[in-house]
Structure 1
Amino acid sequence: MAALQDQPAYIIKMRAKPGHGDKLFALATEGMYKSGSSDRFIMLREDADPDVLWNIEVFRSDEAKAAYENGPLADELRDEIIEHLAEMVMRVEAHPYSALPADPA
């Protein structure tokens, strides 16, 4: 497995149309599990606006990221998710600097 700092990542923000937040979160979470390309991810729901999803996704490798992005699942998920969005997705490419386990003991 690659060193954490060598793994590509995304920080993604999506805003659902009013009343579509639960469906957007379900689709995004399902997609993370289906793809198998992520080493880890965290989905966050804003307290002030529960229709806003933040996703931090760390891919297993550059190859896993490319395979997902160029595979049919990405297109399928994108088509499903788009109908629930209120605005354009914000996506930032990044690499992790550090991460700690939930229980370092």
Structure 2
Amino acid sequence: MDHVKATEADLEYLRDDPPYPEKAACIIKCLLEKVGIVKNNRYSKAGFMTTVTPLVFKNKKKLEHMKTVSENCDKEVNHSTETPCQLGNEITACIFKYAPELHLKA
């Protein structure tokens, strides 16, 4: 938040569906980097699986679903975005498309 001078109000956008405004997209990209879903400014399907596996490992059907999500997003995420932070929008839009249960909605 400090890096892009975001405010608490910028966080409120994250309750909605992407695309997010630039500051909110930067926050999401930063969070995705911290958990390993973004590595070297690219979507990481291995990072996605490492992040979600503890949530679903006891349910084989959900685990297979998340593998499908990771593969789909690996194919669909556009890495040629206008700004580096737009990658946050690209990844969250893809994840929510295939796994809406992971949405941050309150």
* TM-score (norm. length: structure 1): 0.28
Higher relative contact order (CA 8 A, sep 6+): 1
